[in-house]
Amino acid sequence: MPIRHTKTFIMMQKHMIQSGIQFKKIIFAYHFLTMKKISLALLFVSITYLAYSQEETLNKKYRPIVIAFINAVKSGDVEKLSSKIKYPLNRAYPIPPIKNKQEFVKRYKEIFDDNLAKKIVNSTPETDWSDVGWRGIMLLRGELWLDTDGKLIAVNHQSKLEAEEQARLINVEKSSVHPSIGNFEQPVLVLETAQYRIRIDDLGNDNYRYASWPIKSKMSDKPELILTNGKFKPDGSGGNHNYQFKSGDYIYTCFIIVMGEKGAPPAQLVVTTAGKEILSQPAKKINPLLQ
């Protein structure tokens, strides 16, 4: 676990234990704090505190679909396994998502390396898998998630091949943006509203940077606005979260909507001053390397 996150993890665990709650899984700490390099684009089931008693196991009604998934991996039949995926299957930004069965077959080894395959094949449904309500069914500490129909919806494991590809693509991004913002530790996301293109990067030490351009500009152009010292904030227990930046009396907030009402946009840009909202625009997430 990165040193800068260790204290946060311990404080969270101590607080919950003092409240009389025993943790079986602490998904937020595991996924966001230790798996940040895999991608904030995968937050949608993991960024929440989940407390369970030690006695809870996988509900019997879900055991057949878990066993079927384990057997599909054990068989080595990639074509068969490709039918058990909910597409698109998101990967660590800026790695492109897997959009269909053909791409899954082609990129199978990038995701299911020997390490992950062994964890799945050697797992016991009753003790190594847990159903967590509407969020789905997870393997171990959230390395892998199925929905309640048995479809694979998230893989939070990263193989050596993917880590190398992610590093390569990050370097491509660093060289493609304007020099003034080419220095960052991890890219987080790129949003587009009707008027703006917004880029958020992690500069390290939980310091996030906001850069924005008019929508018709390129990211190789000088940003119209650059803000640093941004903060990540979780919104409730559904995976929603936001990044907040301050500029004088103005507050720029990028809300990322993972679990929202039907028809809700993937993201929302809101600008306020003195507590008054002066701008609110829906946004979509994009991968600039695919544009």
| DSSP letters spanning 7-40 | HHHHHHHHHHHHTT---S--HHIIIIIISTTT-G
Which residue(s) pair with 283 in the sheet?
A: 267
What is the Cα 194 distance to its own chain's centre? Answer: 24
Among 103, 132, 160, the domain boundary falls at 160
Same domain, 18 and 107: yes
Q: What angle do CA 51, 52, 53 make, to 5 degrees?
A: 135
The span from the CA of 241 to the CA of 48, in Å, is: 10
Q: What is the pLDDT of residue 50?
A: 45
To the nearest 10°, the Cα dihedral for 205, 284, 145, 143?
Answer: -20
The helix-helix angle for 114-121 and 63-75 (nearest 10°) equals 140
Same domain, 11 and 155: yes
Burial class (CB in 10 A: 0-12, 13-18, 19+), 269: buried
Same domain, 181 and 231: yes
The span from the CA of 127 to the CA of 232, in Å, is: 33
Q: What is the pLDDT of residue 133?
A: 82
Q: What is the pLDDT of residue 289?
A: 73
Q: Is residue 254 part of a domain?
A: yes
Same domain, 61 and 144: yes
Same domain, 148 and 226: no
Same domain, 127 and 189: no
By three-state DSSP, how is residue 1 classified? coil
Q: Is residue 96 part of a domain?
A: yes
Same domain, 235 and 195: yes
Q: What angle do CA 221, 222, 223 make, to 5 degrees?
A: 110
Same domain, 156 and 181: no
Tokens describing residue 123: 């797992």
Same domain, 127 and 213: no
List CB contacts of 17: < 8 A, sequence separation 6 or more.
Answer: 23
Q: Is residue 83 part of a domain?
A: yes
pLDDT along the chain (291 residues), means of 10: 39 39 38 42 42 61 95 94 93 91 96 95 94 87 91 93 94 95 94 98 96 97 98 79 96 88 89 96 87 59
Q: Quick check: 208 and 200 in contact, CB under 8 A?
A: yes
Q: Is residue 106 part of a domain?
A: yes
Tokens describing residue 193: 């509203």
Same domain, 192 and 150: no
The span from the CA of 195 to the CA of 226, in Å, is: 16
Q: Is residue 198 part of a domain?
A: yes
User: How many domains is the chain built from?
Assistant: 2
Q: What is the pLDDT of residue 288?
A: 80
* Domain limits for position 275: 177-290
Same domain, 151 and 279: no
The span from the CA of 220 to the CA of 114, in Å, is: 39
Q: What share of the chain is helix, strand, coil (3-state, %, to 5)?
A: 35, 25, 40
Q: Is residue 165 part of a domain?
A: no
Rounded alpha-carbon distances, angstroms, from residue 16 to 51, 68, 85: 9, 35, 35
pTM, two decimals, is 0.69
CB atoms within 10 A of CB 89: 20
Q: Is residue 167 part of a domain?
A: no
Q: Is residue 168 part of a domain?
A: no
Q: Quick check: 31 and 225 in contact, CB under 8 A?
A: no
The span from the CA of 245 to the CA of 255, in Å, is: 12
Same domain, 9 and 149: yes
